[in-house]
Structure 1
Amino acid sequence: MQGKCRKDSNSTIQTNEFITVSESQYCIVESHGLMCYKCENERNNFLCVGEYNLKQCDSGFDTCQTTVSYSEVSEQLSIIKTCTKNSSCHLQIKEHSESDPCDQTGSSWICTTCCNEDACNLNNAPNNQRAFDVGSSPVRISHNHALLSDRTYLTREPTLTNDVHEERAKNQTSFRCPVENSDNWNFNCKVPCADMPDITNMSEHVQAHIKCQIIKPNIELINVKRMATVQVFPENSECLHTFVMENCHDEEPVPNLVHYIWFSKREMNFYHLLSFLSASRFLKPCLILVHGDRLPFGTYWEYLLTLVPNIMHVQRSPPEDVFGKPLGNIEHKADIGRIQALQRFGGIYIDTDEIILRSLDPLRKYPFTLSRAVDWNLSNGLILAEKNATFLNIWHSEYKTYNKSQWGYHSTIVPYLLSKKYPDLIHVENKTFVRPSWQQLPLLFAKNFNWSENYGIHLYIRFYKFTHDFNDIKYLNTTIGSVARHVLYGSKELCEK
C-alpha cells in the first residue's frame, strides 16, 4: 500500500515491515490508507510509537481539541484529540469558575480544552522548543503498530505494548553508560544493577520504637522478629504528638515527617513499595506514619519493613462525615484523612502511587505547597504543610459545601480556586509533583519522559494493566521503568543483563 505524506517529510522508502522517513514527520500504513503523524520528542535510533494525538490536521482545521472523560463506575479514562476549526472549539464552563473546562454528572466528568499553537499537539514540549523540532534522523515505524496511533494507551492490547518495547530495544545501541549520564535521556546505554537484598533467610530486622513510659518520649532501635508488626498508636496519642513536636521539627515550617493514608484491607503491591522506598531514600524523614484502620500486608510489606525501620501505625477509622455531611467513597474519606493528619502534625502527605524523585527540603520553607496537575486544578497527591497551616484550614472549611456526587471538586478544584483568592498562603509548584498528568498517560506507560525537573511523579496505577517486579523493571524501557530503577538501584538507566 503506497501513498504520499504531507509537506515536512522529504522521502519515504517502504520495505516489507517498515517505512523509513526522514525529517520530522513519519508515515504509517493502515488498513484504510496511508496516514502521517508527528512523533513526540524522538531522538536518534528511537522507535516512533506514533502517539494517538499526533495526527496532522487538514488544511483549515487549525485548532487541537482535547476531550478527557472519566467514569467512576467503569473506572474508564478516555482521552480524545481531534482537529477542528477555531470557530467551533469552545470551553465547557461551569458557573463556579471562569476557567474550569470541566463538567460533571454524578460520578463522571468530562473536560474539553482547545489550543491552536504547535505545542498543543505535544504533551511534553521540551525547553520551550517548537513542538515538532526533532531534527532529521531517520526513524523506523512498524505498520504492525498502526493502531497505536489513534487509541489511548488504555485500549491497547498487551501484545502490542510488548511489541513496542521489543522494537525499541532492538533499535538501541547498547553500551556501558558513563559515570555521569544524568543529562542523557536517550536510554541507549546500560549500567550494572545489583540485585535487591534477599530477605528469605532473615529471621529478625531492626525497628524504631518510641518509648512512651517516660516524661520526654524518645526513640530506640530494637531487633524484632521478621513477621512483627510496627508500633501502633491511637489516633490522638499524646506520646506520638509530643515526640513529633520535639524531634521531627527543625527551623523550617514543614517538619520532615511523612504521612500515608491506608484505609481497608489491602495487600501492598510493587508500586506501593516504590512509593514508600522513594520517600525513605530521598526525604530521609524523621518518621513515616501510616494512618488507617488496617496496615498493608503481603510480601512487599514484609520486604519494606526489613529495609525501612521508622514506619509506625496511627490507628484510626475512615472518617464517615465532614461537617455533618456523609462522605461517599473511600477516596473522599482519604481526602479528609490526609487533611486531618496534616492539621495535627504537619509534614508531607504522599499518595501510595506517588513516587518521590528528589529531596523536598527546598519546599519545606513554605507553610503550604501544592502542585498543579493541569492548568485548572491542584493535585492533592503530594502535600507539604506546616501544622495547622492557614490555607489547609480554609480548604478544610470549604468541605461545608461537600457533595459526594462531585468526584474531584473539593479535593482538586477548590484548592485551585483558593490559591487564586489567597496567593500569599500557598506556594504553587508548576506541575513538578505530577508531570505527566492524567491527560498524558502514554508518556508514563509507553514512552520515556524526562522527569529531571520533577520533585515527584504520579504513576496513576489504577489505569495501568501490567504488574512488574524487581527483575523485569530492570529492562522496562518506559517512564515507569526509569523511575523504578532510580528508586531501587540509584540510576534511571536500563540495567545490563
Structure 2
Amino acid sequence: MRKVSKLRGACASLLIGLIFMIIVKILMESCSQQQEFAAYLNSSYPNLVKFYFLEQNKGLKNNTNFGRNLVSVIRRKMMPAKFLQEESCEIETALYYLRNHKNITIENYEDPFANFTPIGGDDWTFSSTVDCLRNSSTSILEKSNTERKRPYIGCSENDVYMNLIHLSSGSPDQVFQFPSNCLKRVVAKYCKDNLTVPNIVHYIWFGSLSFEFMHFVSFLSAYKYQNPCMILFFHDMLPSGIWWNLLRQTVPNIVLVRVITPTHISGRRIKFIQHKADIFRLQILKEYGGIYLDTDQYILRSLDEFRNNECTMGMAHDGTVGSALIIAARNSRFIQKWIESYRSYDPKSWGGNSVTMATKLTETFPALVRLHRHHCMFFPHGLVLYNQNYKWSHSYAIHIFKNGHINMLKSIDFDTVRKLNNTIGAFFRYILHGNKELCRK
C-alpha cells in the first residue's frame, strides 16, 4: 500500500509539474506578446515598460490567482532595480488599457490621445528658467483697491438681461438668494449653446475659512481655460483678504449667491461641514446644470468635449469616483439618483453618501453617466503633486488633495511660486503666467 501511495504521489507530482510547465509556456508567450506591445507603446510614452511592470506587480500583490502571480514573478526578474514614480497621465492611461484588456495588441490598440494637443511644451526637465511677470504684495494691494468689473443681472416678467458694469472698490456686489428663478432664466439665455451642459462654473464656500492664494489660482484657472459665461459663488459668508480682493479685481464674471446652509439631511443632523457641501453641490447641479469645482480643483484645458453628455465624472487614484469635478446637465438623471440616495444618509460615514455612493451608482446606472476612466482628470496621486514633477501635458484638470498639506499650500504666493520645483509649482505658474518653467530671479 505504501508503494502504491508513493507511486500515486510521484504521479501526482509529475502531473502537477507537467501542468506547471504548460502554464509557464503559455504565460511566457502571453508575457512576450505584452512586452512586444509595451515596447511599441514605449516609442510614444517614455519609460512605459518600467511603469507597466511596476504597476502590474503593485496590482497583483494581493491577487491569489496562480497564473497571474506566476506572471508577476517572471516580470519581477526582468525589472530594473529602480523605478521612476508615476510620470504622466497618458502613460497611466495606456497602462489602464493594458491591465483591463488582456488581449490588446498593436493592431487593435486605439490610442486615446491620437488627436490630442499636449500643453506645457516638450521640455519637462525643469532645467531652464524663463522671465515671469513679477507681482508683489504691494502691487496686489494697490490693484485690489481700484475699480473692478462685475455682471449686473436683471429679470422682468418677460425678459432677462446681464450687463458688465464698473464698480468702485467700495461698491457692494449684487447678491442673489438660492434658489433663484432669475438666475435660472439668465443661465438659460446666456450660458446655453449647442451643448447639453451650460457653460457655467459653480464653487461653494461654507464657513469662515481663509481665502488663500491656492483658491485664487483655482478660480483663475476656471476663468482662463474654461471661459464660462458666469462663475456662481455659493456662500454662507463672504471671504476677505488680499487674495479674495485680487480675485474680484481679476475675474469679472463672478456672481454671488447667498445660501442658508443645510443642517439636516433626511431628518438627520449633519455632523461634518463637508457633508453640507456634498449634498449642496448636487442641488446646484440639479437646479442649474454646469460644472462644479472644489476650491482645490484646477482646470488646465477646456472641458467642452464633456459638455455633450448628461453627466460626466472621473475616477480618482483610489478607485472611487471623484466628486471635486462634476459636469452635469440641469435635472441630470444621475444627479437625481444621487440625491435620492441621501434618504439613507449616515452622518458618521465620511464618504458614504459622496464618493462611495457615487461609485456604486456608476456601477448600477452606467448609462446615466460618462465615467472618465483614464488618468487625466483626477490623477496623479496626491503625493506626486508635492514630491516630484509630474508630466501633466495631457491632463484636463488636477485635484491637489489639500488635506495634510495646508501649511505648505498657505506658504505659496506670487514670490514663492516662482521657484517651487514640484508639480503644484509648475501648473500654478502655467495658470498664472502661461508657462510652467521656473522663473528667473
Instruction: Tell me if TM exceeds 0.5.
Output: yes
CA drift of 1:495 comes to 1.2
Separation in 2 of the partners of 1:121 and 1:375? 21
Question: In structure 2, what is the equivalent of residue 105 of structure 1?
Answer: none
Separation in 1 of the partners of 2:350 and 2:379? 21
2:129 counterpart of 1:190: yes
Question: In structure 2, what is the equivalent of residue 263 of structure 1?
Answer: 206
Separation in 2 of the partners of 1:411 and 1:417? 10
Separation in 2 of the partners of 1:63 and 1:431? 19
Separation in 2 of the partners of 1:228 and 1:280? 23
Question: In structure 2, what is the equivalent of residue 477 of structure 1?
Answer: 421
Question: In structure 2, what is the equivalent of residue 495 of structure 1?
Answer: 439
Structure of greater relative contact order (alpha carbons < 8 Å, 6+ residues apart): 2
Contact persistence 1:376–1:413 (CA under 8 A): no
2:153 counterpart of 1:210: yes
Paired residues for 1:44-443 under 5 Å: 64=58, 123-124=85-86, 127=91, 182-196=121-135, 198-199=139-140, 200=142, 202-212=145-155, 215-374=158-317, 376-429=319-372, 430-438=374-382, 441=383, 443=384
Separation in 2 of the partners of 1:230 and 1:447? 41
Separation in 2 of the partners of 1:253 and 1:283? 16
Question: In structure 2, what is the equivalent of residue 455 of structure 1?
Answer: 396
Report SS of the residue matched to 1:187.
Answer: coil
CA drift of 1:267 comes to 2.2
Report SS of the residue matched to 1:370.
Answer: strand
Separation in 2 of the partners of 1:86 and 1:413? 23
> Residues 475 and 220 of structure 1: is their aligned pair in 2 closer, same or farther, counting only changes over 3 Å?
same
Separation in 1 of the partners of 2:313 and 2:351? 15
Give the structure with the larger helix fraction: 2
Q: TM-score, with normalisation over the residues of structure 1?
A: 0.64
CA drift of 1:380 comes to 0.3
Question: In structure 2, what is the equivalent of residue 94 of structure 1?
Answer: none
Q: TM-score, with normalisation over the residues of structure 2?
A: 0.72
Separation in 2 of the partners of 1:458 and 1:243? 30
User: For 1:395-421, what per-residue CA distance to the aligned partner results, in whole angstroms no more than 9, with x for missing partners?
Assistant: 111111111111112211211121122
Separation in 2 of the partners of 1:340 and 1:449? 34
Contact persistence 1:226–1:302 (CA under 8 A): no
Contact persistence 1:395–1:418 (CA under 8 A): yes
> Residues 125 and 480 of structure 1: is their aligned pair in 2 closer, same or farther, counting only changes over 3 Å?
closer
> Residues 125 and 479 of structure 1: is their aligned pair in 2 closer, same or farther, counting only changes over 3 Å?
closer
- AA aligned opposite 2:86: N
Separation in 1 of the partners of 2:386 and 2:241? 25
> Residues 330 and 85 of structure 1: is their aligned pair in 2 closer, same or farther, counting only changes over 3 Å?
closer
CA drift of 1:65 comes to 8.4
User: For 1:365-417, what per-residue CA distance to the aligned partner results, in whole angstroms no more than 9, with x for missing partners?
Assistant: 11101100035310000000000100110111111111111111221121112
Report SS of the residue matched to 1:410.
Answer: coil
- AA aligned opposite 1:225: S
CA drift of 1:337 comes to 0.8
> Residues 122 and 409 of structure 1: is their aligned pair in 2 closer, same or farther, counting only changes over 3 Å?
farther
CA drift of 1:493 comes to 1.0
Question: In structure 2, what is the equivalent of residue 446 of structure 1?
Answer: 387
Separation in 1 of the partners of 2:252 and 2:58? 50
CA drift of 1:183 comes to 2.0
User: For 1:142-191, what per-residue CA distance to the aligned partner results, in whole angstroms no more than 9, with x for missing partners?
Assistant: xxxxxxxxxxxxxxxxxxxxxxxxxxxxxxxxxxxxxx961221111122
> Residues 204 and 375 of structure 1: is their aligned pair in 2 closer, same or farther, counting only changes over 3 Å?
closer
CA drift of 1:256 comes to 0.5
CA drift of 1:221 comes to 1.8
> Residues 455 and 192 of structure 1: is their aligned pair in 2 closer, same or farther, counting only changes over 3 Å?
same
Separation in 2 of the partners of 1:274 and 1:401? 36
Separation in 1 of the partners of 2:63 and 2:180? 59
CA drift of 1:86 comes to 6.8
CA drift of 1:203 comes to 2.9
Deviates more, 1:222-231 or 1:278-287: 222-231
- AA aligned opposite 2:330: K
Separation in 2 of the partners of 1:231 and 1:292? 13
- AA aligned opposite 2:217: L
Report SS of the residue matched to 2:363.
Answer: helix
Give the structure with the larger strand fraction: 1
> Between Structure 1 and Structure 2, how many residues are aligned?
348
> Residues 190 and 215 of structure 1: is their aligned pair in 2 closer, same or farther, counting only changes over 3 Å?
same
Question: In structure 2, what is the equivalent of residue 102 of structure 1?
Answer: none
Separation in 2 of the partners of 1:255 and 1:333? 24
> Residues 472 and 289 of structure 1: is their aligned pair in 2 closer, same or farther, counting only changes over 3 Å?
same
User: For 1:232-279, what per-residue CA distance to the aligned partner results, in whole angstroms no more than 9, with x for missing partners?
Assistant: 001122221111111111111111100001111222101111110000
Separation in 2 of the partners of 1:305 and 1:275? 13
Contact persistence 1:367–1:389 (CA under 8 A): yes
Greater Rg by CA = 2
Separation in 2 of the partners of 1:125 and 1:304? 32
Separation in 2 of the partners of 1:409 and 1:219? 40
Separation in 2 of the partners of 1:369 and 1:286? 20
Separation in 1 of the partners of 2:85 and 2:146? 48
Contact persistence 1:227–1:302 (CA under 8 A): no
